Amino acid sequence: MSLRTLPGAESADRYQESLSTLLRQLPSTWLVREYADGLVRSYAVQPRATQLPHQGWKLHLSAAPSEATSLCDCVVPFLIDAQASFKIMRDSESFFTINSGHAGATQVGKILTVYESPDYDLGTLARRLSLLWTKTKGPQVPSDLQMTGAEAVFFRYGVIAARKVIVDKLGRHAFTLRRPDGVEVPDVRTMDGSQPTWVPPPPLPCNPATKIDVDTRFYVGTEEFLPMVCLNRSLRGNTYLGISLKDGRSTILKIARRGICWSPTDTIPLISSIANTVLFVSSRPINSSHHIQLDSPVVIIWAC
């Protein structure tokens, strides 16, 4: 089934039309470039007078496909007024590809990127953006640090204006960062938000994105659970063998990462449950054919 025939396609079309109209109306002092890499299509937008640095901090704003039009209406005009240089996904298919992980696990959540520049203070922009875009159904950005107190704002230090590529022994290509001692090193994206030790501090206080893993206690409703052994890891989420700290019963815990899905309505289908088990969501039994909103990273629990 084509994405165009799915529910939400009309809203997706409105996003693409609104964004392209907004960018066409920019004066000649702005430069707009279109990029395409497979199913990921984006616009790079910057004032013509701006000279971006080779490397620096990048701000990533996460968003879900259903929030695309709001992102365009709320955030893009602000960035234009601020004379900021940014990149944004061009259409709904690109949203889905990025947030599903099909463009790479380290690209998840990177719907809009704002680049550090000598023409403005990235920290000031981040504070304003955290007030404009306070909440999102989009995923956390695994390669980044999360701005303290902000749900949708993330930072990563990396290449901005690429100038050199190196090839490792396996033939893999990578853009390079220059350390303070002048040595060129690969720009490596991690899955835990860690940044190179030699880079300057981020524009604002940050922390690694929160996550649930083995030995991390968490609540679903009023019941507390403890994952003990990881049974399976995937981009969409992890499955654990754990226990309920309420009564000690063994429990299979499936913990999804918010926003990582292909549905335009930002839901995950709850398919067949395990025999002789009861399916719970927030401690409330539901039919396994239903869909649920991804308002919490903990979405499925099979209690044995």
8 shares a domain with 57 = yes
Q: Which residues contact 59 (CB under 8 A, 6 or more apart)?
A: 113, 114, 115, 122, 125, 126, 129, 153, 154, 155, 203
**Does one domain contain both 268 and 162?**
no
Shared domain check, 56 and 134:
yes
Q: Which residue's entry shows tokens 């900021």?
A: 84
- What mean pLDDT do residues 122-126 have? 98
Same domain assignment for residues 158 and 236: no
Q: Is residue 22 part of a domain?
A: yes
Question: Is residue 57 one of the residues assigned to a domain?
Answer: yes
- pLDDT of 264 > 70? The answer is no
Residue 256 lies inside a defined structural domain of this protein: yes
Element (H, E) at 116: none
Residue 144's pLDDT band (boundaries 50, 70, 90)?
Answer: very high
pLDDT tens, position by position, 76-112 = 999 999 999 999 999 988 998 998 888 988 999 999 9
Instruction: Judge whether 235 lies within some domain.
Output: yes
On whether both 52 and 115 belong to a single domain, the answer is yes
Domain-located, residue 228: yes
- Mean pLDDT computed over every residue of the chain: 81
- Final residue before a domain boundary, out of 164, 190, 208: 208
Both 13 and 128 in a single domain? yes
Q: What is the pLDDT of residue 294?
A: 34
Going from the C-alpha of 122 to that of each of 115, 155, 268, the distances in angstroms are: 8, 10, 35
pTM of structure: 0.79
Domain with residue 105: its CATH number is 3.30.2430
Give strand ranges (E) for 134-222.
145-147, 153-159, 165-167, 173-178, 184-186, 206-208, 218-220
What is the domain range of residue 52? 3-208
- Boundary-marking domain end, from 208, 232, 251: 208
Could you tell me if 107 and 194 lie in one domain?
Answer: yes
Domain stops at, among 182, 208, 234: 208
Asked whether residue 144 falls in the same domain as residue 288, the answer is no
- Looking at the fold, whether 222 and 201 belong to one and the same domain comes out as no
- Per residue in 47-70, pLDDT (tens digit) is 999 999 999 999 999 999 889 999
3-state secondary structure of 69: helix
Q: Name the strand (E) or helix (H) holding 251.
A: strand 250-256
pLDDT band, very low/low/confident/very high, at 73 (cuts 50, 70, 90) = very high
- The total number of structural domains in the chain stands at 2
Tokens of 171: 């033939």
247 shares its domain with 172: no
Cα–Cα dist 127/299, whole Å: 30
- Per-residue model confidence (pLDDT) at position 300: 42
48 falls within a domain: yes
* 22 shares its domain with 118: yes
Is residue 213 situated within a structural domain?
no
Dihedral sign for Cα atoms in the order 172, 146, 72, 50: negative
* Same domain assignment for residues 169 and 79: yes
Q: What is the pLDDT of residue 12?
A: 64
Residue 301: the pLDDT is 47
In the 8-state DSSP scheme, what is residue 147?
Answer: E
